[in-house]
Amino acid sequence: MTSPEVPSVPVEAVPGEFDSSKRAAADAGQAILLDVREDDEWRLGHAPGAIHIPMVDVPARVDELDYDVDLYVICRQGGRSIEVVKYLTHIGFDAVHVNGGMVAWQQLGRPLVAEGDHQAKIY
């Protein structure tokens, strides 16, 4: 899913390593991968080092993000992340939507981790 007024990148363009600590990411000049899926989706599988803030919680938890780093926003396929990027760019963040979301992430064979003792999967 894409939107012409929202900055977007393909999964291939997303950096390979993230630090889930916003201060460490800013100090290292790194980017943050913000996963805006629901808790149950996150538990099934997510990118290592991603920050998890469900879409509905982003406005209340925006202080957990850093204005000094690039934010790559991802969801399952793109609908939620587009809306979050619209909001974040409106309030001054450098945020981009990741085309294809975590489905494309898994299809490309990018690393996944899961909570618990099951194999990570998105679909």
What does pTM read for this prediction?
0.89
Residue of 69, 75, 88, 102 with catalytic role:
75
User: Alpha-carbon distance 59 to 84, whole Å?
Assistant: 9
Domain boundaries, the chain: 8-107
Of 6, 5, 4, 2, the residue nearest 95 (C-alpha)? 6
Per-residue pLDDT of 7-60, as tens digits, reads 999 999 999 877 565 545 545 557 999 999 999 999 999 999 999 999 999 999
Amino acid at 46: H
Domain 8-107 classification at class level: alpha beta
Is 80 part of the annotated catalytic residue set? no
What's the pLDDT score for residue 21? 59
- Residue 122's pLDDT is 95
pLDDT band at 1 (very low <50, low <70, confident <90, very high): low
Q: How confident is the model at residue 113 (pLDDT cuts 50, 70, 90)?
A: very high
Contact 52, 40 (CB under 8 A): no
**Per residue in 47-105, pLDDT tens?**
999 999 999 999 999 999 999 999 999 999 999 999 999 999 999 999 999 999 999 99
